Amino acid sequence: MKFTKEHEWLRVEGDLLVVGITEHAAEALGDVVFIELPELETQVAAGDEVCVIESVKAASDILAPVDGEIVAVNDRLAENPGLVNEDPLGYWFFKMKVEDLGVIDQFMDEDEYKELIG
């Protein structure tokens, strides 16, 4: 598993990149009440806003970590957004098809991420 500075986790699953938010992000947001997921087959570029998360405290965006195509979304989160508070590392938001999965190597490992969040 790798991590972004925007508090997303990334995991390779077969030939796809799976994206979710970290426990740190879920705690900072508080109780999540709404999640807007991306449309399937959407082409995204690194840094594009892909999802909107609204909580009782704030609204936040999930950004595309790399260039690629959205090929799956977790409809369970749209139906029950609070699941992400229960298990942030267990509930993914979307899966991407990317040209080169090696691109994940540029992101932080768990120790580097723990250092970032202090």
Whole-number pLDDT of residue 71: 98
Q: What is the pLDDT of residues 11-22, one digit of tens each?
A: 999 999 999 999
Q: CA of 76: how far to CAs of 29, 35, 88, 117, in Å?
A: 19, 10, 13, 28
Q: What is the pLDDT of residues 55-70, one digit of tens each?
A: 998 899 999 999 999 9
The pTM of this model reads 0.94
CATH number for 19:
2.40.50.100
Q: Which residues constitute the domain of residue 66?
A: 2-100
Q: Which residues, in sequence order, are bridge partners of residue 52? A: 36, 61
What is the DSSP secondary-structure string of 25-78? HHHHH-SEEEEEPPPTT-EE-TT-EEEEEEESS-EEEEEPSSSEEEEEE-HHHH
Counted domains in the chain: 1
Residue 110 lies inside a defined structural domain of this protein: no
